[in-house]
Structure 1
Amino acid sequence: MKFTLTAAAALAVLTLGAAPSFEEFAGRVRPDHPRMFLTRETLPAFRERANTLCRPLLDDMKKRTDALPAEPGLEFKADVAEMKGGKLVFKKLLNDQNAAIYAVKTSGGTEALECAILYLATGDRAYFEKSKRYLKLLVEFVEWSDRCRILPEWFNNTRLSGLVAYDWLYNELTPEERRGFLGPMLKHVEHMQNPGYMRNGGGPETGNYGEPGLQLYAGLAAYGDGIDDARAEKLLRNGYRLNTAMMNLRDEISGGSGLLTSICSGYSFGQYPWASYNFLHVLESAAGIDGTEHWTQMRDYGNWFSWAAIPSRAAKDGFLDFGWGDAFHGTNAMPCYLMYTHLAQAIHFYGGSEPERAKQARAVMEMIPPHIRKILALRTYPYLPFILTGFDPEVKNAEPPEQVLAGDIAAYFPTFGLMIVRSGATENDTYASIKAGARHTQHQHYDENSFIIYRRGFQALDTGERGSAAHHRVYYPQTVAHNSILIRMENEPLPPYWYPANAPAIPGKVFNDGGQSRMAANRPLGFEKSPYHAVTGGDATGCYAPEKCSEAVRQFVYVAPDYFVIYDRVTSVKPDQKKSFLLHTQNEPEELSPG
């Protein structure tokens, strides 16, 4: 049976104008500074906001900055790393991969920007001088990491902060000070695009917070200033094209739903939004281009969160996670401490033109626990609270959030073949999701036609845990860890999956325990819904090895408020290839009545 995607159920996709070409963008880049996140025209509003609404944040920043050493240097964390024979050697592992920033007390970039913020907000010249000293430290850090031939940092945050600080202080730096900072930084950013050793090379299809994503901001910091114009233009061109490609792909994946690149919540509701928001900010500040006229992914972002999160007062941040993809399953708590900040940005950009989406975003914000119901003064992006002039925290919805969000029983996200259903929007309601036809593989598992059901606890859940152990590779992403179908075949190779760089080698030979071996090969069967039911399904035959699977079709029906029908039609190539229906439960099942 094939269902249809009715017009009423289909996600709205708006046809917007094409993004400006690089030549048009570059021709509109303002010749003066600052031009990243701040301009001379917006500086008065920045100062007022910093000294009124954001005064507590500014005071905290002042305390932190006043405690910094006046003459900073590159200081090692003696218990973490040391230099031996000109090489950086780690004494212990701090993450999935080694990076130079783990070995030092600070790289200087974040401190330089916080000092610059304080200087522009207060006019105190001491912060200007301190910011310059920390910019010198950042140069020392990147040159040292390049000499050591080691990844400077997995995210590009501290170097981005340094580039922004330079841009904000540009008018009062001497020509020698400008060349002393920007010359080495441009060479470093260019070098890290292809260094010949490990780097974070993620681009448009990922979070875009690694080395490629830094090019735009390095190019903007230097464009047309006569310091290294050829290199600056090259970086700006590459960075602009990368970011427009990212925005186009994210709009395609979102399709009017707000789903951002991956259905894995730790990424979708963590680091991934920053690249979109930062690009929208600098398009406006650097070139006067309104990116909201070209891309809508962040306009709809609150809609995606409202469907992907399960309300729970017991969870630390107020919501539980379905657990799709590379999620942490220890507690299934939704990692949403950034969501108030992310949604505030959505309202800043789109609230005026899209009042219904803003209303939806505010409903989610009102459900966020008070301890994270605020714009965070993040060390990674310290400028943010001071520039969100389009967001007013005092504006509230007239209706309670549960009423705003509870209007529909199902949503469908076609780029991942993902259906989510719910009986309401409170923690006592029923929630379920099935993935049947993903076309993108970012942080995804071999879990096509798998489902998750929640009703006052997980009745069917994703299992496994990520980390630096064989379990991460051998079980966690494999079909056996999900509520799907196994078709066993002797000595079937285990399909590949990423494994942390610092993880130990897996001893011995491992095999596929009956699971799928291909991603993005499920054929979705469509989606239908009414006020009383929702149905979808997928033909996952192509996800299994052809030597063992002739057919693997699942249909999944939700009958509101609490009933589910799961129908499978599975045929193995050989009769002795055993088939198994997987159902992972939160607690051991108990027989409630005889028979």
Structure 2
Amino acid sequence: MESRQSIIVAAPFTVAASCLWAQEPVRIGQLEVPDDSPLARGEHPRLMITRAQRPAIRARLAHPEIQTYLKQARELVEIDKADALLLATMYQLTGNTEYAELAKSKLEGPSWDPAWTFAFDLLADTMSTSECRKMASQILEHIKANRWRPRLLLCLAAWGHGLDEELGPLIQATYEEEIVRRIAYNDRWTQGRGGSSMGHGYHGEHFFSAEYATALGWSNATGEDVLGRADFDDQQPAWYVYHYLPWETVRQVIRVGVTMSPFHVQALTPRKHQGESYVMRTITDTRNGLGQWWQREFIGNWPQPRWRAGQEHMYGLVGRLVWLDPAIPSVPPQQFPETRLFPENGHVVMRSDWTEDATIALFRCGRFGEIDGYGGRNNLDNLHFIIFRRGYLAPDTGCVHSVNEKVWQMAAPSNVHNYGKQTIAHNAITVGRRRYEVRGHNNRVLAYSLRGGQVAVQKRAWYKAWGLTPPKAVKVSASFKEGEITAYRTSPACDYACGDATHSYPPERVRRITRQFLYLKPDLFVIFDRVLPSDPGLEVIWNLHAYQRPAWNGKTEPEATQEGHFLHTGGDTFTITNRAGAAMEVRTLLPEAGNRIVRTIGGVWHDFEVDGVNYGPTAATYELLERRKGDGGLEGVGGWRIEITPGKANGEVYFLHVLRVVEPGGGRKAPLETTPLTARGRAGVRIRSGDRETEVLFNTVGQTGGTLVLNGHAENLATRIEDHYDRWSDDPRYQQWISSQFMGPVVFPYGRKSHR
């Protein structure tokens, strides 16, 4: 909807038992809405639910599953664990004013948390005119004191209580920001497949919950179905479930991006600000069987910390009571494809299967996140990959939050900013060694990279070098991406993705850089990198991390001038072992033997080293490491980095690696046989592992691509995004995917073969 001097809302909001809003708008101050909308009539409730919807919601209470949730809610009330929103909801569901009085005793003053606003709205019909006016005044003062916080929902709650003259202009302005622009922003990040501008730990608080609540409140209050037009909420279950590591023993998300702790409840679900409740409505609206499994098995269904005892079922309970449809069956992840693309984030999540013993990989090349705003605290990690088998074999290292630094008793200079967010902390490529800075007004440093890494903020001159039009504003345009998945294909036998991260690096350092990532299920990976540095004198380094010291199949010698640095010759393969006993062989084919420098750096006082400086650790850090018997956590304290660089480079640099995952327990596999292959304009490898033989050739000139011969079948590698599962048609689950209304929203959210 366009921004106008007054807002005209006429589209009906359709939910069960809702009324049809009149199409003639009526002016309320500077706002125009249908004359029989809840906002125009001055009705409460009008935000989370409406008075018209209430009879149908109450009728749901007769269902046995909803009765179970109602019983849980009453138990929470009895032990005084129910919050204001749950109590206010119970009042609206049952009509029992005792719940309303308890809720008001816990309501306290206004908050920008949507749960507070919804609770007030649900309780307003029990308040006198003067009480509502007093609360509206407090809301207005709170808005004035916190102008940077979301305000529209609060304005809608306060409307109609004598302050409309002041609230009207606020609604006018915040509608454009919090509805029009914010929904478009969120939709861009999800693109119908799921995604977020935040790491999982921040997603619920800063991407999903408040935005969903605002859209829901506006839709209900005015009748304009902005929530129905949005799709950022539709793929919440898939965004979480596909990023889960095997969950039977320990529940955690893949550690990628800025997530303080992948075990934290706010990383596992959008728990912050009642986000778990809102997904219940999304699950019902989309008939999402995976979502139903997710809410039944994950949300509110795991042991809580001791100080939260008794709250096991509190989270998501409001949404279950109000919106959840028990008739939707739970469809577990095992019934869905093991691979999924998240295009804007540039995540391709792959796994051999859904079991505890699965090999799992994530390849990343997309838009940089926006935690703390433009150029903020986000990882510079395009072309990064992660591999997991009962533990990380190719991890994301370093601290991503100050809490991580505190746990490890680190000191300045910051590990987060000088290591954890830098490209060198990831399994990616660095070009050059000198520090690079982007400066702005008054010569202030806006962004910097260490040891040839990527940069979060672009100079305007860079766009010309890239052949792009600079954005009008200081902030990057919606169409600009620092990195992008340019090709993708999935099948039961293999997954393939190509990432282009050229715009992640200063053009003075990099003219072109791509990575082709091929997963040959269940245990082989082939990774091919093409790097064209802007200056042939710039050192191009291929980086790979390990929690424990890698073993080399050749000669290892310490570097005479660098403590903690080791040179490796006479071999071609590292073996990395994780704490669970799984292993991964890492074989280098390009650069060729005789034209490569292979180095490892790591151990105590060298685990986070960048150009001779070890960022963060103190003596106390390593004392803690010793007490933990060498377990350096997900941050990789005491860990190691493999660096591979060409001995001599002239023009474009190529890296070719074959990685093989070996199962825990030392189970021996047939030797990994690799034979380098070359053809005109191509380089590749023939791989023999057991009774499997695979050939892959990658283009070394022109467009990325190549050929793959797998199980005797030859095909070209993808050169575009094929965001569908047509190649899975022989999978016994496929017919369910295309026929089940409860699986289609996940597998084909916009229909088969459609990629926006």
Give the TM-score category using the shorter length.
Answer: 0.5 to 0.7
Tell me the TM-score normalized by structure 1. 0.68
Of residues 261, 271, 284, the one that matches 1:351 is 284
Look up the match of 1:100. Answer: none
User: Does the 8 Å contact 1:309/1:334 carry over to 2?
Assistant: no
Identity of aligned residues (%): 23
**1:387 positional shift:** 6.6
1:539–1:282 CA distance, 2 compared to 1 (3 A): closer
Query: Hey, what's the Cα distance between the residues in 2 that align with 1:234 and 1:540?
Result: 43
- Superposition pairs for residues 446-461 of structure 1, below 5 Å? 446-461=380-395
The answer to whether 1:533 aligns with 2:533 is no
Query: Hey, what's the Cα distance between the residues in 1 that align with 2:97 and 2:297?
Result: 42
Look up the match of 1:310. Answer: 245
Q: Deviations over 1:304-328 (max 9, x none)?
A: 223222223332xx3x322221123
1:179–1:325 CA distance, 2 compared to 1 (3 A): same
The answer to whether 1:59 aligns with 2:13 is no
- Range 47-56 or range 24-33, more displaced: 47-56
Look up the match of 2:565. Answer: none
- Range 286-295 or range 47-56, more displaced: 47-56
The answer to whether 1:273 aligns with 2:258 is no
The answer to whether 1:404 aligns with 2:335 is yes
- Superposition pairs for residues 518-557 of structure 1, below 5 Å? 518=456, 520-522=481-483, 524-557=485-518
Tell me the TM-score normalized by structure 2. 0.55
Look up the match of 2:724. Answer: none
- Range 446-455 or range 121-130, more displaced: 121-130
User: Does the 8 Å contact 1:253/1:415 carry over to 2?
Assistant: yes
| Equivalent position amino acid for 1:272 in 2 | F
Look up the match of 1:176. Answer: 130
Look up the match of 2:322. Answer: 389
| Equivalent position amino acid for 1:372 in 2 | W
Query: Hey, what's the Cα distance between the residues in 2 that align with 1:57 and 1:168?
Result: 17
User: Does the 8 Å contact 2:241/2:333 carry over to 1?
Assistant: no
Query: Hey, what's the Cα distance between the residues in 1 that align with 2:145 and 2:329?
Result: 48
**1:419 positional shift:** 1.9
| Equivalent position amino acid for 1:164 in 2 | F
The answer to whether 1:444 aligns with 2:369 is no
Query: Hey, what's the Cα distance between the residues in 1 that align with 2:106 and 2:297?
Result: 40
SS in 2 for 1:27: strand
| Equivalent position amino acid for 1:53 in 2 | Y
Look up the match of 1:249. Answer: 185
**1:60 positional shift:** 1.9
1:218–1:377 CA distance, 2 compared to 1 (3 A): farther
Bigger-Rg structure (1/2): 2
Of residues 291, 300, 311, the one that matches 1:361 is 291
User: Does the 8 Å contact 1:434/1:451 carry over to 2?
Assistant: yes
- Superposition pairs for residues 38-77 of structure 1, below 5 Å? 38-43=49-54, 45-46=57-58, 49=61, 53-64=69-80
1:458–1:163 CA distance, 2 compared to 1 (3 A): closer
Of residues 250, 255, 268, the one that matches 1:336 is 268
1:394–1:275 CA distance, 2 compared to 1 (3 A): same
Of residues 305, 327, 334, the one that matches 2:259 is 327
Q: Deviations over 1:10-60 (max 9, x none)?
A: xxxxxxx99999421651341122212233344454598498632332332
Query: Hey, what's the Cα distance between the residues in 1 that align with 2:352 and 2:143?
Result: 50
Look up the match of 2:529. Answer: 568
Of residues 515, 530, 534, the one that matches 2:453 is 515
Look up the match of 2:45. Answer: 34
- Superposition pairs for residues 60-459 of structure 1, below 5 Å? 60-64=76-80, 111=84, 113=85, 116-117=88-89, 120=92, 137-138=108-109, 156-157=112-113, 160-193=114-147, 201=148, 211=149, 213=150, 215-225=151-161, 227-241=162-176, 242-262=178-198, 264-268=199-203, 272-291=207-226, 293-315=228-250, 318=251, 320-328=252-260, 335-338=267-270, 345-346=278-279, 348-351=281-284, 354-355=286-287, 358-365=288-295, 368=298, 371-372=301-302, 385=318, 388-393=321-326, 396-397=329-330, 401-405=332-336, 407=337, 409-438=338-367, 441-442=370-371, 444-459=378-393
User: Does the 8 Å contact 1:548/1:572 carry over to 2?
Assistant: yes
1:476–1:302 CA distance, 2 compared to 1 (3 A): same
User: Does the 8 Å contact 2:517/2:527 carry over to 1?
Assistant: yes
Of residues 3, 8, 12, the one that matches 1:23 is 8
Query: Hey, what's the Cα distance between the residues in 1 that align with 2:358 and 2:93?
Result: 48
The answer to whether 1:482 aligns with 2:426 is yes
- Range 473-482 or range 42-51, more displaced: 42-51
1:128–1:396 CA distance, 2 compared to 1 (3 A): closer
- Range 462-471 or range 268-277, more displaced: 268-277
Look up the match of 1:72. Answer: none
Look up the match of 2:666. Answer: none
Query: Hey, what's the Cα distance between the residues in 2 that align with 1:298 and 1:465?
Result: 30
User: Does the 8 Å contact 1:330/1:465 carry over to 2?
Assistant: no
- Range 416-425 or range 509-518, more displaced: 509-518
SS in 1 for 2:46: coil
1:283–1:163 CA distance, 2 compared to 1 (3 A): closer
User: Does the 8 Å contact 1:474/1:510 carry over to 2?
Assistant: no
Query: Hey, what's the Cα distance between the residues in 2 that align with 1:426 and 1:495?
Result: 48
**1:485 positional shift:** 0.9
- Superposition pairs for residues 456-467 of structure 1, below 5 Å? 456-467=390-401
**1:570 positional shift:** 2.4
User: Does the 8 Å contact 1:35/1:285 carry over to 2?
Assistant: yes
SS in 1 for 2:381: coil
SS in 2 for 1:231: helix
| Equivalent position amino acid for 1:514 in 2 | G
- Range 166-175 or range 26-35, more displaced: 166-175
**1:229 positional shift:** 0.8
Query: Hey, what's the Cα distance between the residues in 2 that align with 1:129 and 1:367?
Result: 33
SS in 1 for 2:400: coil
1:125–1:425 CA distance, 2 compared to 1 (3 A): closer
User: Does the 8 Å contact 1:402/1:426 carry over to 2?
Assistant: no
Query: Hey, what's the Cα distance between the residues in 2 that align with 1:383 and 1:43?
Result: 19
Query: Hey, what's the Cα distance between the residues in 1 that align with 2:266 and 2:119?
Result: 33
Q: Deviations over 1:122-153 (max 9, x none)?
A: 66666655655666x526xxxxxxxxxxxxx8
| Equivalent position amino acid for 1:57 in 2 | A
Task: Mark the runs of 5 or more structure 2 residues left unpaired by the alignment.
Answer: 11-31, 372-376, 403-411, 441-446, 458-480, 556-570, 572-756
**1:426 positional shift:** 1.8
**1:391 positional shift:** 1.4
Query: Hey, what's the Cα distance between the residues in 2 that align with 1:390 and 1:118?
Result: 14
Query: Hey, what's the Cα distance between the residues in 1 that align with 2:49 and 2:137?
Result: 22
SS in 2 for 1:558: strand
Query: Hey, what's the Cα distance between the residues in 2 that align with 1:58 and 1:299?
Result: 30
| Equivalent position amino acid for 1:348 in 2 | R
Say which structure, 1 or 2, has more relative contact order (CA 8 Å, 6+ apart).
1
SS in 2 for 1:444: coil
1:125–1:536 CA distance, 2 compared to 1 (3 A): closer
**1:581 positional shift:** 1.0
SS in 1 for 2:497: strand
Q: Deviations over 1:192-230 (max 9, x none)?
A: 21xxxxxxx3xxxxxxxxx1x2x22222123234x1112
1:548–1:586 CA distance, 2 compared to 1 (3 A): same
Q: CA RMSD in A?
A: 4.2
Task: Mark the runs of 5 or more structure 1 residues left unpaired by the alignment.
Answer: 1-16, 67-109, 140-152, 194-200, 202-210, 497-508
Look up the match of 2:636. Answer: none
Query: Hey, what's the Cα distance between the residues in 1 that align with 2:276 and 2:418?
Result: 37
Query: Hey, what's the Cα distance between the residues in 2 that align with 1:304 and 1:231?
Result: 40
Structure holding more strand per residue: 2
**1:550 positional shift:** 3.7
